[in-house]
Structure 1
Amino acid sequence: MTDTLAMEYPEAAPYIEEAVDKHGEDWVLENYYEELYPLKQVMAVPEKEELPFYEEVEDETMTEVERTEMYQAWGEYRENLRTGTKPGE
């Protein structure tokens, strides 16, 4: 992890570093929006492109619209689990 990331995102950097240590950089890049980016609700979190090991040519990122759609779908899924209903009921 770079010092710059730790300076700009002091709260999130330990979580990112722990995930890299536990799973590796490739895992973090693959699972960033599902596992780490939701921390943005409670702290400043870097965009995926700001990670020091992100490679623009090799790694994909989601647009804000795609992220919003994904999180809305997860919210609906959790609500369906909570209420015991199926979509459209």
Structure 2
Amino acid sequence: MPDQLAEQYPEAAPYIQQAVAEHGEEWVLEHYDEQLYPLGRIMAMPDKDELPFYDDDEHDTMTEDEKVEMYQAWAAYRENLRTGTKPEE
């Protein structure tokens, strides 16, 4: 991982490096928004397109609206689990 990313995101770099070592770069790019980016609630995390192995021609990122929709769905899912209800109830 380039030093620049480690300098800009010193807390996040080890998590990203560990995920790459365990799963590979393609897995990290495919699962970044669901598995790693949520760490941004407790530390500064780079956007997916800031990763050194991200290639605009091969990969895509979620729009801000898509991220909001995904996180809202997760919140509704957690609330349903907490209350033991279904979305229609």
> The TM-score by the shorter chain falls in which range?
over 0.9
Q: What are the equivalent positions in structure 2 for 1:31-70 lying under 5 Å apart?
A: 31-70=31-70
Q: Distance in 2 between matches of 1:64 and 1:13?
A: 23
**1:40-89: per-residue Cα shift (whole Å, max 9, x none)?**
10110000000000000110100111001101101101110111100021
Normalised TM-score (structure 1):
0.98
Unaligned runs of at least 5 residues, structure 2 = none
Paired residue type of 1:77: Y
Q: Which residue of structure 2 aligns with residue 80 of structure 1?
A: 80
Asked whether 1:16 is paired with 2:23, we answer no
Give secondary structure in 1 for the equivalent of 2:87: coil
Paired residue type of 2:32: Y
Moved over 3 A (4+): none
How many equivalent residue pairs?
89
| Overall identity of the aligned pairs, in % | 67
Superposed CA RMSD:
0.5
Q: Distance in 2 between matches of 1:60 and 1:87?
A: 30
Unaligned runs of at least 5 residues, structure 1 = none
Paired residue type of 2:59: D
Give secondary structure in 2 for the equivalent of 1:35: helix
